[in-house]
Amino acid sequence: MDRFGLRGRTALVAGAGGIGAAAATALAEAGASVVVADVDEQRLAALAGVVPLHADLTTADGSRECVGKAAAILGGLDVFVHAVGTNDRRPVLDTPDDVWERIVALNLGSAFWTGRAAGELMVRAGYGRVVYLSSVSGQLAHANHAPYAASKGGVNQLLRVMAREWAPSGVTVNAVAPGYTETDLTRHHLDLPGVREELTSLVPAGRLGTVDDLVGPILFLCSAWSSFVTGHVLYADGGRTLV
């Protein structure tokens, strides 16, 4: 049974880290043909069942080239998942310009550049699913997260505008916003003394999230089941944004 309506679909996942890798694997297992793009060739080599694509998404040209190559390999593009991001935890007054520029370029710039390129193909084809990885930081005012929080808040508003503009063409644009989740991006911070316990105490579910907790929401927004859902940020956070 093709539960998600993804069999035979074509998908590009930007980001071969924990969440991106899990999303790519799930899409492939659901029957989609999947290309995964990342600048880290070791991460790409660790994935099975997908086509790896080395790409630098920190520039507009690199992002456009990535989407174009993926579509050429796949013979079209039905699904695009943007799972690229970085963070640098420090107070606003201690954040240098280069840190701001690097985080905003990768987290928000690449979201715009790749999303625009994917959207152009999807609007022309009359079908598409775009899914961004946002964060609870796009809503909550976490200290020491200024560039990251600003970039994720920007992604949330970017996808809403894309969703409004592309809805008449059968293209949906949404996001999954993880709460405190164990990933390569967060593991070092979570291992600092007391941090894991403090953050867990803020989650009504009583635990931190896992990458597997995000796969279902991502697959749903990529699927045929979500055809009338667009412009939404789905919080997969164990209730963190409730308190």
What amino acid is encoded at 232 in this protein?
Answer: H
Contact, 178 vs 135, CB < 8 A?
yes
Q: How far apart are CA 109 and CA 114, in angstroms?
A: 9
Q: Enumerate the active-site residues.
A: 148
Dist CA 138 CA 189 (whole Å)? 19
Q: How many residues can be counted in the chain?
A: 243
d(CA 228, CA 172): 8
SS (H, E, C) 131-164: EEECCHHHCCCCCCCHHHHHHHHHHHHHHHHHHH
SS3 112: helix
